Amino acid sequence: MLSGGAGSTGDVGRGTVEADVAVVGAGPVGLAIAWRCAQRGLRVSVHDPAPGSGASRVAAGMLAPVAEAYFGERELTGLLTESAARWPGFAAELAGAAGADLGYRTDGTLVVGLTADDLAEAGRLWSYQQGLGLPIRPLRPSELRDREPALAPRVRGGALAPGDHQVDPRRLVAALRTAAERAGAVLRPAAVGALSELAARVVVVAAGCGAAALTGLPVRPVKGQVLRLRAPGGGPPGFRHVIRGYADGEPVYLVPRDSGEVVVGATVEERADTVVTAGAVLRLLRAAVDLVPELAEYELVEAAAGWRPGTPDNAPIIGALPGRPGVLVATGHHRHGIVLTPVTADLVAELVVTGEPDPLLAPFGAARFAGRTGPVRAPSDTEEETCD
Ligand code: GLY
């Protein structure tokens, strides 16, 4: 694209071209794209009034291509698997470049059911996942308890997804910011009201839900409420695996960190507010304590709500914006922004440099939503169909 494609005459916005690439959005996806582009010697600016304050601020950081392989999402599962395979190298390179600990852990994920009904629901999904050839295997109850003695005795059964890992999204964002800046990217902490404000040869819109107002693409907010607990005594939590479970029909996940933090998530609500409700907190805590009773003794440190950027098919939009030469988008990552960060950054940087989309991106182009535009005006918190 920079070597003679649509963007080479530049100049998506007005005025003197200040950067080869202007990235809108300093969440993990935007920062990783900026880092990869800067590593290739491009002049990069990143525009965000509050870096790391979007979905990643509340995200749990599960890298779960297997446990989050859902019915009817085969193409998305392929991209999740591809990105998860890049995570070990990405994490090592980033930790080195930033001199930072990302909280990247490879203990694996347990999927469990509290009651017979819960186990039936979980088992139906992992049978589907096994059918796709994904690495997940049922455990005998004794194996489950040997692996994770903190599980409640009445948990009926479960399965292990050994390749589903985790990272701390807040540490990830800080590390990406350091790495991108060390590679030469310049962070501009200001809001972008319209793409015409940006004087760059290529603009990449990686603004999560904010992409809707900037591009007209149908990206909607999907509210998630999330809790953070802390183990007593300053030690680590009493369990090591990520635990994803169903407890009396309530889906919940528990993500333990070395710092003593446990993330408990999350609601999935088709709403555009960020209110933390008593009912949601009650349901999440009840499900969490039903699965791991010791959590009742933990400190409740934080209750927060954020927005996942969802698209009509819940898969991301990555690639050129039709009808807007020089504009690329990387948004709509919905429940998978953290796991999809490496592959999105690699493929967008490649597209910026070569103008050629990788075949992996074919199912995820914006053209699949032709005629299904979202809002192009600035949204507000109270509007259920919009996001910012
Ligand atoms: N990927 C977990 C969530 O979106 O809640």
| Mean pLDDT value across residues 285-304 | 98
Residue 66 shares a structural domain with residue 180 = yes
**How many CA atoms, within 13 angstroms, populate the side-chain half-sphere of residue 125?**
23
Residue 4 shares a structural domain with residue 130 = no
Residue 205 shares a structural domain with residue 321 = yes
Q: What would the pLDDT profile of 150-179 be if each residue is shown by its tens digit?
A: 999 999 999 999 999 999 999 999 999 999
Using the mean position of ligand 1's atoms as its centre, give its distance from the Cα of residue 308 in Å: 8
Last residue of a domain, one of 262, 292, 310: 310
CB 81 within 8 Å of CB 68: no
Q: What would the pLDDT profile of 20-64 be if each residue is shown by its tens digit?
A: 999 999 999 999 999 999 999 999 999 999 999 999 999 999 999
Residues with CB under 6 A from ligand 1: 60, 62, 224, 265-266, 308, 335
Task: Give the integer Cα–Cα distance in Å for 102 and 85.
Answer: 17
Using the mean position of ligand 1's atoms as its centre, give its distance from the Cα of residue 354 in Å: 33
Q: What would the pLDDT profile of 180-189 be if each residue is shown by its tens digit?
A: 999 999 999 9
Residue 301 shares a structural domain with residue 364 = no
Total domains, the chain: 2
Residue 52 shares a structural domain with residue 123 = no
Residue 176 shares a structural domain with residue 146 = no
Residue 95 shares a structural domain with residue 5 = yes
- Give residue 381's pLDDT: 36
Q: What would the pLDDT profile of 210-242 be if each residue is shown by its tens digit?
A: 999 999 999 999 999 999 999 999 999 999 999
- Give residue 2's pLDDT: 72
Residue 154 shares a structural domain with residue 190 = no
Instruction: Name the closest-CA residue to atom 1, ligand 1.
Output: 335
Kindly tell me the burial class for residue 275, based on how many C-beta atoms sit within 10 Å of its own C-beta (0-12, 13-18, 19 or more).
exposed
Task: Give the integer Cα–Cα distance in Å for 166 and 105.
Answer: 5
Q: What would the pLDDT profile of 72-87 be if each residue is shown by its tens digit?
A: 999 999 999 999 999 9
Q: Compute the residue count for the chain.
A: 388
Structural domain including 135 reads: 109-162+221-310
Q: What would the pLDDT profile of 304-336 be if each residue is shown by its tens digit?
A: 999 999 999 999 999 999 999 999 999 999 999
Last residue of a domain, one of 310, 329, 347: 310
Using the mean position of ligand 1's atoms as its centre, give its distance from the Cα of residue 324 in Å: 31
- Give residue 58's pLDDT: 96
- Report the percent of the chain where pLDDT is more than 70: 92
Instruction: Name the closest-CA residue to atom 3, ligand 1.
Output: 335
Using the mean position of ligand 1's atoms as its centre, give its distance from the Cα of residue 80 in Å: 13
| Mean pLDDT value across residues 265-276 | 96
The answer to whether the Cα torsion of 254, 256, 262, 265 is positive or negative is negative
Last residue of a domain, one of 279, 310, 341: 310
What are the φ/ψ torsions at residue 44 (nearest 5 degrees)?
Answer: -125, 135
Task: Give the integer Cα–Cα distance in Å for 388 and 375.
Answer: 10
274 has pLDDT over 80: yes
Q: What would the pLDDT profile of 86-140 be if each residue is shown by its tens digit?
A: 999 999 999 999 999 999 999 999 999 999 999 999 999 999 999 999 999 999 9
Residue 77 shares a structural domain with residue 212 = yes
Pairing of strands 157-161, 317-320: unpaired
Using the mean position of ligand 1's atoms as its centre, give its distance from the Cα of residue 75 in Å: 18
Residue of 270, 335, 340, 341 with the most ligand 1 atoms within 8 Å of its CB, for mutation: 335
Task: Give the integer Cα–Cα distance in Å for 247 and 227.
Answer: 17
* The residue type at 85: A
State which ligand 1 atom lies nearest to the alpha carbon of 224.
Answer: 5
* 3-state DSSP helix/strand/coil % of the chain, to nearest 5: 35, 25, 40
- Give residue 14's pLDDT: 63
Q: Could you tell me which of 352, 358, 357 has the C-alpha nearest to residue 2? A: 352
Instruction: Name the closest-CA residue to atom 5, ligand 1.
Output: 266
Using the mean position of ligand 1's atoms as its centre, give its distance from the Cα of residue 63 in Å: 10
Which CATH number is 226's domain given? 3.30.9.10
Q: Could you tell me which of 366, 55, 377 has the C-alpha nearest to residue 205? A: 366
- Give residue 374's pLDDT: 59
CB 387 within 8 Å of CB 379: yes
Which CATH number is 6's domain given? 3.50.50.60
State which ligand 1 atom lies nearest to the alpha carbon of 226.
Answer: 5
282 has pLDDT over 70: yes
Using the mean position of ligand 1's atoms as its centre, give its distance from the Cα of residue 373 in Å: 25
| H/E element, 245 | strand 242-247
CB 256 within 8 Å of CB 239: yes
Residue 155 shares a structural domain with residue 231 = yes
Residue 141, CA distances (Å) to 119, 127, 152, 365 in order:
12, 17, 11, 44
CB 23 within 8 Å of CB 44: yes
Residue 197 shares a structural domain with residue 334 = yes
What token pair was written down for 86? Answer: 């890049």
Residue 303 shares a structural domain with residue 323 = no
- Give residue 387's pLDDT: 44
DSSP 70: -
